[in-house]
Amino acid sequence: MEWIKCSEQLPELIDDLCLVYSATGGDQYGFPVGGYDCVHVQDYFGDVTNGLSVNGEQLYTKRYLHSGITHWMPYPKLPTD
C-alpha cells in the first residue's frame, strides 16, 4: 500500500477509517510534525462547520486542512486466518 497525496486524491467519503500523515503538524487537532494516525474518513475529509461569514452564512471547512494532513492511505484489511 502506498501513501496518497491529498493534493492528488481524497478518500471516498464513507463510514470508514484511513491512515493519515501530517507533514506540517496541526496544533488544533493534536497532530505533531511528521505524525501519523488512524482517523474517521467522514470526520476529517467531509465538510465541518467553521463559523459564520460576515453576511451570517454558514462557512464550512475540511478538518484535514487544519491538521496539516498531506497524505492518506486506506486502512489495511485485518487478517482472516
Distances (CA, A) of 7 to 29, 40, 55, 64, 69: 20, 19, 30, 12, 10
Task: Kindly list the domain boundaries of the chain, sorted by start residue.
Answer: 4-74
Question: Are the beta carbons of 66 and 26 closer than 8 angstroms?
Answer: yes
Contact 65, 10 (CB under 8 A): no
74: pLDDT strictly greater than 70: yes
Where do the H-state alpha helices sit in 5-77? 41-45, 63-66
Give tens-digit pLDDT for 30-56: 677 788 888 889 988 998 888 888 888
Mean pLDDT of 13-33: 79
CA distance 55 to 20: 35
Look up the pTM and report it: 0.77
